[in-house]
Amino acid sequence: MGVVVQKYGGSSVASPEKIKNVAKRVVQEKEKGNSVIVVVSAMGDTTDELLALAKQISKNPPAREMDMLLSTGEQISISLLAMAIKEFDYPVISLTGQQVGILTDSSHTKAKILKINIDRLKKELENDQIVIVAGFQGVNEFNDITTLGRGGSDTTAVAIAAAINADRCEIYTDVDGVYTADPRIVIDAKKLKEVTYDEMLEMASLGAQVLQPRAVECAKQYGVIIHVRSSFSYEEGTAVKEACEMEKERLVSGVTCDLNTAKIAILEVPDRPGIAYKIFSALAKANINVDMIIQSIMRDNVNDISFTISESDADLALEITKGVADEIGAKGVKFSKDVAKVSIVGAGMVNNPGVAATMFETLAEEGINIQMITTSEIKISCLIDASSAIKAVKALHKKFNLS
Ligand code: ADP
Ligand code: ASP
Ligand code: MG
């Protein structure tokens, strides 16, 4: 007997039939004699639909009200799942983020969990209840509803597993594990039995949406092993953990692609100390994450600075950058949303020179131009034209023999 946290994503609860299927699986877990906490996302595309609804009302909706709106999606699915479990005649209770004691900071729409007060959770489990928790939401110190960023229910699940010291943390989705590439893009992608936190963190941050990066960070910090599995099968899935047997033998573990990226270039920036600070501190103040950065070599006391941000931050980032560019006397600002970041990730890359060259060779063979490059010990990313992204992923997957 132990405590099991299961998380079911939007695709797993997209219809009444699917909710009933989840209820059945939850009951099966309870039948094994475990205490069960279930974290759920909003049904299907509900969150996207709510976002679209807000855009019809306002071009720039206040973030606090956005959270008030977006959090309703999860409230629908927790109540329906609780009803479905009740049909099996099991004791069950649904709880919102606030009721479950999830305290976050105040960065609306991308809040971070600060603390979870597990008293209520413990009490309900002691009363033998199956507890259904709304993913993706919490409250800040003022008791205002916050949300944790897209895909945030994964983080809710891992954070709860860590807080309650669960024996198992399972993330159920519409694929039966983490693959060497998005199985929707690369048909012969292979399922990984295991993947390290570091590899998964890179893959998730670089576009493998199967897990939210924050969830992997949290799992690594608290040593929570994540089991990624399908809610439509009983396959074993992928374990995300500290170290893997295969890790060092595997040069490249996965190929990812991120289309949610945009590029801004500031042209002819005066070359003097403090300029980069000025640009990037203005973006940081607006809570905008900057990803790749390139500064060209100085010519005639000016240089160009280019960087990428996520597409959802692009409009605000452009406005801020234009303001700073004017202030510092740069020549102008260029902007593009038609870019994608393709990356290869692998712990075995560290001691193997030549991996980067092979990546660049592959893109060259496909006639794909590289606009920016970044590397870390276990990943190489290239910014390319968005229209070539799928071709690039397929070619890299083949070149590194991942099938
Ligand atoms: P959920 O609604 O369950 O949270 P998501 O849509 O957020 O599901 O994540 C699952 C999707 O992630 C899959 O359908 C798959 O297309 C995509 N995906 C991208 N990269 C990978 C990968 N490397 N391995 C598995 N799935 C991936
Ligand atoms: N419903 C939220 C989203 O679509 C959170 C999640 O699914 O994890 O991003
Ligand atoms: Mg998800």
C-beta 136 within 6 A of ligand 2: yes
Choose the residue to mutate in 209, 228, 230 for probing ligand 1, maximizing ligand atoms within 8 Å of C-beta.
209
d(CA 340, CA 384) in angstroms, rounded, equals 5
Q: What is the pLDDT of residue 332?
A: 94
Q: Which atom of ligand 1 is nearest to the CA of 181?
A: 23
Contact between 115 and 47 under an 8 Å Cβ cutoff? The reply is no
Contact between 241 and 291 under an 8 Å Cβ cutoff? The reply is no
Q: Token pair of 285, please? A: 């103040």
What would be the CATH architecture of the domain defined by 3-174? 3-Layer(aba) Sandwich (3.40)
Nearest CA-CA partner of 38 in 90, 115, 113: 90
Ligand that lies nearest to the alpha carbon of residue 209, given by its number in the listed order: 1
Contact between 61 and 50 under an 8 Å Cβ cutoff? The reply is no
C-beta 42 within 6 A of ligand 2: yes
C-alpha distances out from residue 44 to 27, 74, 83, 135, 275, Å: 22, 11, 18, 14, 45
Q: Which atom of ligand 1 is nearest to the CA of 180?
A: 23
Q: Which atom of ligand 2 is nearest to the CA of 73?
A: 1
Pairing of strands 194-196, 226-230: unpaired
Nearest CA-CA partner of 71 in 120, 124, 163, 138: 138
Please count the helices (runs of H) and the strands (runs of E) in the chain.
11, 20
Ligand that lies nearest to the alpha carbon of residue 148, given by its number in the listed order: 2
Nearest CA to ligand 1 atom 11: 210
Ligand 2 center to 43 CA (angstroms):
9
Helices (H), 105-261: 119-126, 153-163, 197-205, 213-222
Ligand 3 center to 209 CA (angstroms):
6
The single residue listed with the structure tokens 């946290």 is: 5
Q: What is the pLDDT of residue 251?
A: 85
Choose the residue to mutate in 49, 69, 133, 136 for probing ligand 2, maximizing ligand atoms within 8 Å of C-beta.
136
Ligand 3 center to 320 CA (angstroms):
30
CA dihedral (279, 282, 285, 286) positive or negative? negative
Contact between 185 and 149 under an 8 Å Cβ cutoff? The reply is no
C-beta 41 within 6 A of ligand 2: yes
DSSP state of 179: B
Q: What is the pLDDT of residue 37?
A: 98
Choose the residue to mutate in 175, 205, 379 for probing ligand 1, maximizing ligand atoms within 8 Å of C-beta.
175
How confident is the prediction along the chain (403 residues), in pLDDT tens digits per residue? 799 999 999 999 999 999 999 999 999 999 999 999 999 999 999 999 999 999 999 988 999 999 999 999 999 999 999 999 999 999 999 999 999 999 999 999 999 999 999 999 999 999 999 999 999 999 999 999 999 999 999 999 999 999 999 999 999 999 999 999 999 999 999 999 999 999 999 999 999 999 999 999 999 999 999 999 999 999 999 999 998 766 566 789 999 999 999 999 999 999 889 989 999 999 999 989 999 999 888 788 889 999 999 998 999 999 999 999 999 999 999 999 999 999 999 988 877 888 999 999 999 999 999 999 999 989 999 999 999 999 999 999 999 999 8
d(CA 160, CA 8) in angstroms, rounded, equals 14
How many C-beta atoms surround the C-beta of residue 350 within 10 A?
A: 12
| Phi, psi values for residue 29, rounded to 5° | -65, -45
Q: Which atom of ligand 2 is nearest to the CA of 152?
A: 8
How far from the centroid of its chain's Cα atoms is residue 375's Cα? 20
What is the secondary structure of 189-203 as a DSSP string?
--B-SEEEHHHHHHH
The answer for residues whose C-beta is within 8 angstroms of residue 312's C-beta and 6 or more apart is: 260
C-beta 97 within 6 A of ligand 2: no
Ligand 3 center to 377 CA (angstroms):
26
Q: Which residues line ligand 1 (CB under 6 A)?
A: 9-12, 41, 151, 173-175, 178-179, 181-184, 208-210, 254
CA dihedral (350, 343, 174, 40) positive or negative? positive
d(CA 358, CA 212) in angstroms, rounded, equals 29
Ligand 1 center to 49 CA (angstroms):
19
C-beta 10 within 6 A of ligand 2: yes
Q: Which atom of ligand 1 is nearest to the CA of 184?
A: 16
Ligand 3 center to 210 CA (angstroms):
6
Choose the residue to mutate in 47, 145, 160 for probing ligand 2, maximizing ligand atoms within 8 Å of C-beta.
47
Q: Helix-strand-coil percent breakdown of the chain, rounded to 5?
A: 35, 25, 35
Contact between 92 and 56 under an 8 Å Cβ cutoff? The reply is no
Ligand that lies nearest to the alpha carbon of residue 232, given by its number in the listed order: 1
Nearest CA-CA partner of 401 in 181, 222, 208, 227: 181
Helix (H, G, I), strand (E, B) or coil at 156: helix
pTM: predicted TM-score of the whole model, two decimal places: 0.92
Q: Which atom of ligand 1 is nearest to the CA of 178?
A: 24
Q: Which atom of ligand 1 is nearest to the CA of 228?
A: 25
